[in-house]
């Protein structure tokens, strides 16, 4: 393992990036209690970095990030792991273009998912999900792996959402944008608010994503938000020595 350009070792950098993402997601209202995870592929090996189960996203500190292999064995850290690691490992194994996965139970993403339909195109930022979102019947990788294809977003009714990306900035910024667009969409449910014309969607997506770098800019904003985010229980980091076991259900 080499050193990163910011002076941190590679492990420390991966941990730091996950902590930043978790706090930024919390700062954007995606922190809804226990559950939800951010993972990063460990480059060049069948392993990933992921936050522990027993802290909310807003509470995550460097001690709450672990490294697992794709069989779920702990390589670094010794904490309780959500059984949700299984779909992270599955997606990394299937999608070699994906290096980051974000999963939350954000209220608005859950509300949208529980309508059991994809996001409607009711805002120009919704085009970031145009022909790039799928519904999974449940949270097992067996189901997710069948439907994800090359999409970046998975909605799971009665559960939450997943965004994936080639980079942490893209997956995390996409998740926050999904939350915002889900709020808009659910709020308009039952109205006759029209969707964007079909022919406008792809050009808008290209403008927002490829030309404007919206997701990368949003990630920069999220980093600033994470720096200023203080969780009310962030000082309560006692020793966490429980042996990791599989949770009873996938969170
Ligand atoms: Zn979950």
Q: How far is CA 79 from CA 53, 54, 232, in A?
A: 8, 8, 22
Pairing state of beta strands 133-135 and 153-156? parallel
Exposure letters 207-229 (e unless 16+ CB within 10 A, then b) = ebbeeeebbeebbeebbebbeeb
Expressed in angstroms and rounded, the spacing between residue 220 Cα and the centre of ligand 1 is 26
Expressed in angstroms and rounded, the spacing between residue 51 Cα and the centre of ligand 1 is 13
Expressed in angstroms and rounded, the spacing between residue 161 Cα and the centre of ligand 1 is 8
Topology at the third CATH level for domain 12-227: L-fuculose-1-phosphate Aldolase (3.40.225)
Expressed in angstroms and rounded, the spacing between residue 246 Cα and the centre of ligand 1 is 14
The greatest distance separating any two alpha carbons of the chain, rounded to the nearest whole angstrom, comes to: 55
Beta bridge partners of 153: 133, 163
Hey, what are 249's tokens? 């259900």
Give, for all 251 residues of the chain, the pLDDT tens digit: 444 556 678 889 999 999 999 999 999 999 988 989 999 999 999 999 999 999 999 999 999 999 999 999 999 998 888 888 999 999 999 999 999 999 999 999 999 999 999 999 999 999 999 999 999 999 999 999 999 999 999 999 999 999 999 999 999 999 999 999 999 999 999 999 999 999 999 999 999 999 999 999 999 999 999 998 887 665 544 333 333 333 333 44
Expressed in angstroms and rounded, the spacing between residue 105 Cα and the centre of ligand 1 is 6
């Amino acid at each position: 393992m080499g050193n990163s350009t910011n002076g941190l070792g590679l492990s420390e950098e991966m941990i730091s990036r996950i902590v930043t993402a978790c706090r930024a997601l919390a700062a954007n209202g995606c922190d809804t209690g226990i559950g939800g995870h951010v993972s990063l592929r460990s480059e060049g090996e069948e392993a990933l970095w992921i936050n522990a189960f027993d802290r909310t996203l807003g509470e995550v500190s460097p001690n709450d990030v672990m490294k697992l292999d794709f069989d779920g064995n702990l390589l670094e850290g010794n904490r309780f792991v959500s059984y949700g690691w299984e779909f992270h490992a599955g997606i990394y194994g299937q999608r070699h273009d994906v290096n980051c996965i974000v999963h939350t139970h954000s209220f608005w993403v859950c509300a949208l998912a529980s309508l059991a339909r994809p996001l409607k195109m009711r805002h120009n930022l919704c085009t970031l999900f145009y022909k790039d979102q799928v519904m999974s019947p449940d949270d097992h990788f067996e189901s997710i792996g069948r439907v994800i294809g090359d999409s970046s977003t998975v909605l799971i009714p009665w559960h939450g959402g997943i965004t994936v990306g080639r980079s942490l900035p893209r997956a995390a910024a996409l998740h926050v944008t999904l939350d915002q667009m889900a709020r808009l969409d659910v709020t308009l449910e039952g109205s006759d608010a029209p969707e964007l014309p079909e022919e406008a969607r792809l050009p808008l997506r290209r403008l927002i994503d490829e030309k404007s770098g919206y997701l990368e800019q949003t990630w920069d904003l999220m980093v600033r938000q994470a720096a200023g985010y203080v969780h009310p229980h962030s000082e309560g980091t006692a020793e966490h020595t429980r042996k990791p076991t599989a949770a009873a259900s996938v969170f």
